[in-house]
Structure 1
Amino acid sequence: MKTKYIDLIEQTFDFPQEEFQLVENNLHFHDIDLMTLIRRYGSPLKFTYLPKISKNIQRAKKWFATAMDKHGYAGKYYYSYCTKSSHFEHVLNEALKNNIHIETSSTFDIDIVEHLKAEGKISDSTYVLCNGFKRDEYVGKIAQLINSGQRNCIPIIDNFEELDLLGNDIQGNFKVGIRIASEEEPKFEFYTSRLGIGYKNIVPFYENAIKENPKVELKMLHFFINTGIRDTAYYWNELLKCLKVYINLKKICPTLDSLNIGGGFPIKNSLAFDYDYEYMIEEIVNQINQACREANVAVPDIFTEFGSFTVGESGGAIYEVLYQKQQNDREKWNMINSSFITTIPDSWAINKRFIMLAVNRWNEEYERVLLGGLTCDSDDYYNSEQHLNAIYLPKFKKDRPLYVGFFNTGAYQESIGGFGGLQHCLIPQPKHILIDRDSEGNPNTRVFAEQQTAGDFLSILGYNKPKVVESKNLRKKPMANRPLVIK
C-alpha cells in the first residue's frame, strides 16, 4: 500500500518537473537544495531565484519571434516589464539584462527610471510606457523625463484631461498612447473598466484633441483586460473589438504604429498547471495579421507588459511547522512559524493559489491538514479553497522538523504586504535571500534583507523616537488665561 508523501505526489502529478526534483528525500528547486538554505539561513525564509526572470523573458521573446516568422508578420515585438509586480532593484537589474523596456504605474516609478538611467541600465531609446491615472505630480515627472531626452517615453492617455496636462508641462513634441476601456466579463459588478477611454470615444477623441495638435503624435493603442490572456471567447471577442478600433484609427492616423496587448500571462500555480503559451501567442499574432490584411492597413508593432510572468515564478517562501492542533474529529491544524497575511497576502486576500510542497520527509506517511498562520486573525490560513486540492503533508512529529515551501510567489506579495513596514499582529517579515549563478553556473546566495526586529517596529510606531523636552520658559500660562490687570 502506497501511503508515503512521495507516492501521493507521483500518483497525483507528473513528477519530477523542470523546476522541482527530489534528491535524497529533500526537495530541490531549480537544482537548489532547499534544506541547505534552511540550515544556513533558518526559517521562515523568503527567496528570489534571479535566473528564472531572464529565462521567462527569453522564452516569451522566442515564442513571439517564432509566431511572427511563421505568419510572415511585418511588425516588431517589444517586451516590457510592468514594475508594479515587483519594484526591487535586483528584479529590475536582472530583467534589464535582456534588452527590455519599462511600464510604469505611478509617480515614484519615474524616480526608479531616472535612477536606472543614471546608472546606464536604460537609455534614451528605451521605451517607458506610462500607464495609470495621472495627476499633477505624475504628469510633472513624465514631462521631466521627456524634457531630459527620453524620446521613447510614451504616456498612455487614461482620460480626456491628461492630454492638456501633459502638453502644458512638456516643452517640445511628444508621443502618446490611448488606453481602451475594455468591457468586463458578465460576472463583474460593473460593465466597463474604470481605466482608459471607451471604444466608441477613441476615434472622436483623436479627431478632436490630437489630429490637429502639432505637439502630439499618437503612437500606440493600449489593450488590457482583467482576466489576462486566456483562451476564452471573452478574450478573443475583446481582442477583435480592439483590432477594429486600431484599424479605424490607423486609416486616419498614419503615426499610429503600435499595439500594446498588455500583460496577463498566467503563471504556474500547481504541478498540474497546463497553459499553451506558444499557441496563444501564435493565435494572437495570426488574428492581428489577418485583421490588418483584410482591412488593408499595416500591421502594428506588438508590445507586451508582462509583470507576474516576468518575476512571479522566481519567488518562494519556506516555513517550519511548529505545532499541530487537533481541533475536532476531522480538522488538524499545522501551525507555521510565520503568517500568510504577512508573507503571501494574495493567498488570503483573493484566494490566490500557489504551488505548495513539503521540503523534507517525502519518504514518510502523509495526512490531510489545514495550515494556520501565527496571527490571531481567523483569515490567516491556507486550505483547499486557495489550494488546487486538499492539503496533504508528511505526518507531524514533534521530534522531526517539517518544512513547507510555497513557490512562484514573486509577484506583488512584498508590495501588497508592505515590505519593511508594519505587519499584522507585528509578525515580522522573514529574512529574504537572493539566489543567482556565477559564470560557470554555480549557485551563490546573499542576504537581501534580515528578518524584521522589534526595534524596526517600535521605530515605525514612534516608540524609539527621541523625546522633545519642552523648555521651562514655555511653561507659562497662555496669555488668554492670565488675569487682566488694570492700572
Structure 2
Amino acid sequence: MNTKYSDLIDQTYYFPQEEFTLEGSELRFHDIDLMELVKKYGAPLKFTYLPKISDNINRAKGWFKSAIEKHNYKGSYNYCYCTKSSHFEHVLNEALKNDIHIETSSAFDINIVEKLKQNGKLSNDNWVICNGFKRDQYIENISRLLNGGHKKCIPVIDNYEELDLLTEKIDSKFQVGIRIASEEEPKFEFYTSRLGIGYKDIVPFYKKQIMENEQVDLRMLHFFINTGIRDTAYYWNELNKCLKVYINLKRICPSLDSLNIGGGFPIKNSLAFDYDYAYMVEEIVNQIQLACEEAEVDVPNIFTEFGSFTVGESGGAIYEILYQKQQNDREKWNMINSSFITTLPDTWAISKKFVMLAINRWNDEYERVLLGGLTCDSDDYYNSEQHTNAIYLPKFKREKPLYIGFFNTGAYQETIGGYGGLQHCLIPTPKHILIDKDENGNISTKVFAEQQKASEMLEILGYN
C-alpha cells in the first residue's frame, strides 16, 4: 500500500526533477542539503542560491541565440534585468557577471546604477533602460546619469510631459524610447494599461515632439503586457499590433532600431509546470522577422526585461511546523513558525502559487492539511497548491519535527514584505542565507542578514 509522502509525490508528478532530488528521506534543492542548512542556521530561514540567477540568464540568451541563427535574423539580442524584482547587491552582482543590461523603474534605481558603476560592476557599455512614470527626482537622476557621460541610458517615455522635462535637464543629445499602452486581457478590470501612450497616438506624438527635435533621437519602442509572454491569441494579437506601430514609425524614423518586448517569462510554480521557452522565443523572433520582411523595413534589435525569470527561481524559504490544530472533522491546520503575510506576501496578496514540498520525513505517511501563519489575521494562510485546495504533508508528530520548503520565491517577496522594516503583527524577518557554488561544485553558505530583533522594530516605532 502506497501511503508514504514519497509515494504521493511520485504518483502525482515526474520526480526527481532537475533541481529537486531525494537523499534518503530528505529533499535536496540543486544538491543542497536543506536539512543541514536547518541544523546550521535554524528555521524560519530564507535563502538565495546565486548560481541559479546566472543559469537562467544564460538559458534565455541561448534560446535567443538559437532562434536568431535559425532565422538568419539581422538584429542583436540584449538581456536586461528588472531591478524591481530584487534590488539586493548580491543579486545584481551575480546577474552582471553575464554581460547583461539594466532596466529601472524609479528614481533610487539610478542611485544603485551609480553605485554599481563606482564598484566596477557596470560601465558606460551597459544599457540602462528607464521605465516608469517620471517626475522630479527620477528626471533629475536620469539627467545626471546622461550628463555624466552614460550615453547608453534610454528613458522610455511614459506620458506626454516627460520629454520636455528631460530636455530641460539634459545638456546634450540623447536617445529615448516610447512605451506602448497595450490593451489589457478581455477579463481584466480595465481596457487599456495606465502605462505608456496609446497605439494610435504614438506616430502623432513622434511627429509633434521628436521628429524635428534636434536634441532627441527615438531609438526604442517598448511593448509589455500584464499576462506575460504566453502562447495565447491575446499575446500574439498584441505583439502583431505592436509590430504595426514599429513598422509605421520605422518608415519615418531612421534612428529607431530597437524593439523592447518587455518581460513576463513565467517561472516554475509547481512540479507539474510545463512551458516551452525555446518555442516561444523562436516564434517571437519569427513573427518580428516576417512582419518586417513583408513591410520591407529592417528588423529591430530585440531587448527583453526579465525580472522574476532572472531571480525568482533562486529563492526559497524553510519553515518548521510548530503545531497542528484540528478545527473540525475535516480541517487540520499545520501552524508554521512564521507568517505568510510577512515572508511570502504574494501568497495572500495575489494568491500566487509557489513550489511547496516537505524537507524531511518523505518516508512517513501523509495527511491532508491547511497551512496557517502565526499572525492573528484570518488571511495568513496558504492552501493554494497547484491542483487542490489542500496540501498533503507527512503526518504531524510532535516528537518528529517536520520542515517544509517554499521554492522559487526569489522575486519581489522581500521588497513587498518590507525587508528590514515593520512586519505585520511584528513578526520578525527571518534569517537570510546566501548560497554559492565554486567551479569545482563545492557549496558555500554565509549569513546575509540575521533574524530581525525586537530592538530594531522598537527603534523604527520610536521607542528609543
TM-score, normalization by structure 1: 0.95
* Counterpart for residue 452 of structure 2: 452
* Counterpart for residue 417 of structure 1: 417
How many angstroms apart in 2 are the aligned matches of 1:263 and 1:347? 21
Amino acid paired to 1:186: P
How many angstroms apart in 2 are the aligned matches of 1:213 and 1:388? 55
* Counterpart for residue 55 of structure 1: 55
Moved over 4 A (4+): none
Task: Please report how far the alpha carbon of residue 86 of structure 1 lies from its aligned counterpart in structure 2 after TM superposition.
Answer: 0.2
How many angstroms apart in 2 are the aligned matches of 1:222 and 1:189? 23
* Counterpart for residue 304 of structure 1: 304
Task: Please report how far the alpha carbon of residue 438 of structure 1 lies from its aligned counterpart in structure 2 after TM superposition.
Answer: 2.0
How many angstroms apart in 2 are the aligned matches of 1:387 and 1:425? 28
* Counterpart for residue 171 of structure 2: 171
Trace 1:331-350 onto structure 2 (pairs within 5 A): 331-350=331-350
* Counterpart for residue 199 of structure 2: 199
The answer to whether the 8 A contact 1:117-1:123 is kept is yes
Amino acid paired to 2:248: N
Task: Please report how far the alpha carbon of residue 439 of structure 1 lies from its aligned counterpart in structure 2 after TM superposition.
Answer: 3.0
What do residues 369-398 of structure 1 show as CA deviations (whole Å, max 9, x unaligned)?
Answer: 0000000000000003x5443310000000
The answer to whether the 8 A contact 1:83-1:104 is kept is yes
In the alignment, structure 1 segments of 5+ residues that lack a partner are: 465-487
Asked whether 1:230 is paired with 2:227, we answer no
* Counterpart for residue 287 of structure 1: 287
Secondary structure of the structure 1 residue equivalent to 2:403 = strand
How many angstroms apart in 2 are the aligned matches of 1:332 and 1:219? 58
Secondary structure of the structure 2 residue equivalent to 1:208 = helix
Asked whether 1:87 is paired with 2:87, we answer yes
What do residues 120-178 of structure 1 show as CA deviations (whole Å, max 9, x unaligned)?
Answer: 11111210000000001100100000000101000000001000000000000000000
How many angstroms apart in 1 are the aligned matches of 2:125 and 2:306? 20
What do residues 29-87 of structure 1 show as CA deviations (whole Å, max 9, x unaligned)?
Answer: 00001000000000000000000000000000000000010011000000000000000
Trace 1:217-366 onto structure 2 (pairs within 5 A): 217-366=217-366
* Counterpart for residue 156 of structure 2: 156
Q: Report the RMSD for the aligned CA atoms in angstroms.
A: 0.6
Secondary structure of the structure 2 residue equivalent to 1:47 = strand
Secondary structure of the structure 1 residue equivalent to 2:165 = helix
The answer to whether the 8 A contact 1:430-1:451 is kept is yes
Task: Please report how far the alpha carbon of residue 343 of structure 1 lies from its aligned counterpart in structure 2 after TM superposition.
Answer: 0.4
* Counterpart for residue 432 of structure 2: 432
* Counterpart for residue 70 of structure 2: 70
What do residues 245-275 of structure 1 show as CA deviations (whole Å, max 9, x unaligned)?
Answer: 0000000000000000000000000000000
How many angstroms apart in 2 are the aligned matches of 1:444 and 1:189? 46
The answer to whether the 8 A contact 1:366-1:394 is kept is yes
Amino acid paired to 2:421: G
Amino acid paired to 1:215: Q
Secondary structure of the structure 1 residue equivalent to 2:322 = strand
Secondary structure of the structure 2 residue equivalent to 1:369 = strand
How many angstroms apart in 1 are the aligned matches of 2:121 and 2:345? 31
Secondary structure of the structure 2 residue equivalent to 1:151 = coil
How many angstroms apart in 2 are the aligned matches of 1:338 and 1:30? 25
* Counterpart for residue 182 of structure 1: 182
Amino acid paired to 1:414: E
How many angstroms apart in 1 are the aligned matches of 2:445 and 2:387? 31
Amino acid paired to 1:16: P
The answer to whether the 8 A contact 1:267-1:313 is kept is yes
In the alignment, structure 2 segments of 5+ residues that lack a partner are: none
The answer to whether the 8 A contact 1:270-1:388 is kept is no
TM-score, normalization by structure 2: 0.99
Task: Please report how far the alpha carbon of residue 437 of structure 1 lies from its aligned counterpart in structure 2 after TM superposition.
Answer: 1.0
Secondary structure of the structure 2 residue equivalent to 1:463 = coil
Amino acid paired to 1:457: M
* Counterpart for residue 128 of structure 1: 128
* Counterpart for residue 214 of structure 2: 214
How many angstroms apart in 2 are the aligned matches of 1:240 and 1:438? 44
What do residues 212-232 of structure 1 show as CA deviations (whole Å, max 9, x unaligned)?
Answer: 000000000000000000000
Secondary structure of the structure 1 residue equivalent to 2:21 = strand
How many angstroms apart in 2 are the aligned matches of 1:124 and 1:349? 38
Trace 1:134-145 onto structure 2 (pairs within 5 A): 134-145=134-145
Amino acid paired to 1:170: I
Asked whether 1:98 is paired with 2:103, we answer no
How many positions carry a matched residue from both structures?
Answer: 463
Secondary structure of the structure 2 residue equivalent to 1:303 = strand
The answer to whether the 8 A contact 1:432-1:449 is kept is yes
Secondary structure of the structure 2 residue equivalent to 1:272 = coil
How many angstroms apart in 1 are the aligned matches of 2:400 and 2:5? 15
* Counterpart for residue 12 of structure 1: 12
What do residues 157-200 of structure 1 show as CA deviations (whole Å, max 9, x unaligned)?
Answer: 00010000000000000000000000001111211000000000
Secondary structure of the structure 2 residue equivalent to 1:378 = coil
